[in-house]
Amino acid sequence: ELCPKTSPLLKGTITINLSGLTINETESTKKMSLYWLSVPLYRRPSDCKCRNKTAIIVPFRDREQHLSYFLYYLHRLLHRQQLCYVIFVVDQNDDKPFNRGRLSNVGFKYASNLSNFDCYIIHDVDMIAEDDRIMYTCNRQVVHYTFLLSKFNYNLVYHGYAGGGIGYTKEQFEKTNGFPNEYYGWGGEDDDINIRINEKGFGIYRSPEPFYRFTMIRHGRDSGNPPYVGRMERLGKARQRIDVDGLNSLVITNLKEVKHKTYTRIYITRSRSCEPLREV
Provide, rounded to whole angstroms, the least separation between the CB of residue 276 and ligand BGN: 18
Q: Catalytic residue, from 61, 63, 75, 124: name it.
A: 124
Provide, rounded to whole angstroms, the least separation between the CB of residue 80 and ligand BGN: 28
- Tell me which residue of 83, 165, 147, 87 sits closest to 118, measured CA to CA: 83
Q: Catalytic residue, from 130, 132, 182, 190: name it.
A: 190
SS3 percent helix, strand, coil of the chain, rounded to 5, is 30, 20, 50
Active-site residue, 189 included: yes
Residue with smaller CB distance to ligand BGN, 163 or 178: 163
Residue with smaller CB distance to ligand BGN, 130 or 191: 191
Residue with smaller CB distance to ligand BGN, 124 or 132: 124
Backbone angles phi, psi at 123, to 5 degrees: -140, 130
Active-site residue, 219 included: yes
Which residue type, as a one-letter code, is found at position 213? R
Are 156 and 68 a contacting pair, CB within 8 Å? no
Q: Catalytic residue, from 25, 47, 219, 243: name it.
A: 219
Q: Catalytic residue, from 218, 221, 272, 278: name it.
A: 221
Residue with smaller CB distance to ligand BGN, 187 or 246: 187
- Tell me which residue of 45, 46, 49 sits closest to 2, measured CA to CA: 49
DSSP lists the bridge partners of residue 87 as 56
Are 57 and 108 a contacting pair, CB within 8 Å? yes
Active-site residue, 36 included: no
What residues are labeled active site? 124, 126, 186, 189-190, 216, 219, 221
